[in-house]
Amino acid sequence: MATSRFCYVLMCHTDAAAIVRLVRRVHELSPEAAIVVRHSVPDLVAPEAIAAFGATVHRSAIDIVWGDWSMTRAALEVLDHARRTVEADHYVLLSGQDYPIRGLAAWEDEVRRCGVDALVDVYPPMTDDWYYRWWTVDPPHVGPVLARRAVKLAWRLVARRCRPAVMFYRGRRDPRWILGVRRPELLRGEAPVVVLKGSLWLTLSGRAVDSLLRRHREDRRTLDFFRSVRIPDESYVQSLLLADASLRIMDCPTTFARFRYDEWSPTWVDLDELALAARTPAAFVRKLPEGVDAAVLAEADLLASRPADAVPPIQDAVPGQAKLTGAEVAPGVPSVATGLPAPRG
């Protein structure tokens, strides 16, 4: 596939108006780019609503449940679809709730000049992610309120003692709980590959996508291992990329997002978050709420008009912030991967 254009791959699940707005804005900032909109929601967005902006719709049969394997499956499926149907030299995986804050044509040129195969926003390692076997649990939301509160209180009282063997907790913006059972040390062994934790929203060269999809198809042992880690979309794809020594990988965000302590979703974008995002090389920011303030969009559009010398270069990216949950207050095991401060290769 000999072409120099970019393909923006949007994983969407809600807010049709925001999807059309994002597609239109990406097209304005990079008219030659291809855009693929992936979703699994009937009638979420009509193909004709975005066709004029060079975008196509990929309707997936995979319903995503945040935190489990379905998110990873969906990302791999749409990358495979985009690679087969769109000729591009780079593929940018984004959330449908992202929004550009840089001139995309200039950003694309910078990515090409850097010569890297992957921009990965690396998170500090959390070895509990893979030293335990994890499940998402959606307990019944019925029964006496006092009884349910008593169960939660009882768990909190014994959680510290149980933590070496079992972890069970929930975030503030998700009704589900996460259950982790520690893998027996004698059976656990080492991870099949070095584990790299990072954001799923990343930029990949065509050959990086090819390598990723090939390893996903051929390496069953690694796939089976990552099916049971916590939030596999933050480590499986990233670790497969790291496992290919021929790829040049840089720790740099494609999308800026900030996570507060014990929050599983990023902070909603407002003017303060935009000010923080503007200090990074990120091309996008997330997470835009439905009905976002017009002043926020106007400021984001203003940031996208900045001259090149007003934007931090990709090479100066600061390693990603920790995404911590209550279970990670006192991790008891050493780090496995520590990030990528410079391009590898």
The DSSP annotation for 134-170 comes to EEEE---S-S-HHHHHHHHHHHHHHHHHHTTTEEEE-
How much is the pLDDT for 162?
66
pLDDT digits (tens, 9 = 90+) for 214-266: 999 999 999 998 988 888 999 999 999 999 999 999 988 999 998 876 666 78
pLDDT grade for 342, boundaries at 50, 70 and 90: very low
DSSP 51: G
Asked whether the beta carbons of 265 and 199 are under 8 A apart, the reply is no
pLDDT at 187 over 60: no
Q: Give 79-143 as a DSSP string.
A: HHHHHHH---SEEEEEETTEEE-S-HHHHHHHHHHHT-SEEE-BPPP-THHHHEEEEEE---S-S
How large is the C-alpha radius of gyration of the chain?
Answer: 20
pLDDT grade for 97, boundaries at 50, 70 and 90: very high
- Its sign, for the CA torsion 101, 104, 106, 107, is positive
Supply angle C-alpha 25, 79, 206, rounded to 5: 90
Higher pLDDT, 75 or 342: 75
pLDDT grade for 163, boundaries at 50, 70 and 90: low
pLDDT grade for 268, boundaries at 50, 70 and 90: very high
Q: pLDDT averaged over the chain? A: 83
Share of the chain above pLDDT 90, in %: 57
For 254, phi then psi, to 5°, come to -80, -40
How much is the pLDDT for 308?
87
How much is the pLDDT for 181?
83
How much is the pLDDT for 139?
65
pLDDT digits (tens, 9 = 90+) for 102-143: 999 999 999 999 999 999 998 877 777 777 777 777 766 655
pLDDT at 329 over 80: no
Instruction: Write down all domains in the chain, each with its CATH number in brackets.
Output: 6-124+192-328 (3.90.550), 128-188 (no CATH)
Side-chain-side CA neighbours of residue 213 (13 Å): 18
What does the block give as tokens for 102? 């840089």
Mean pLDDT, residues 163-192 taken together: 69
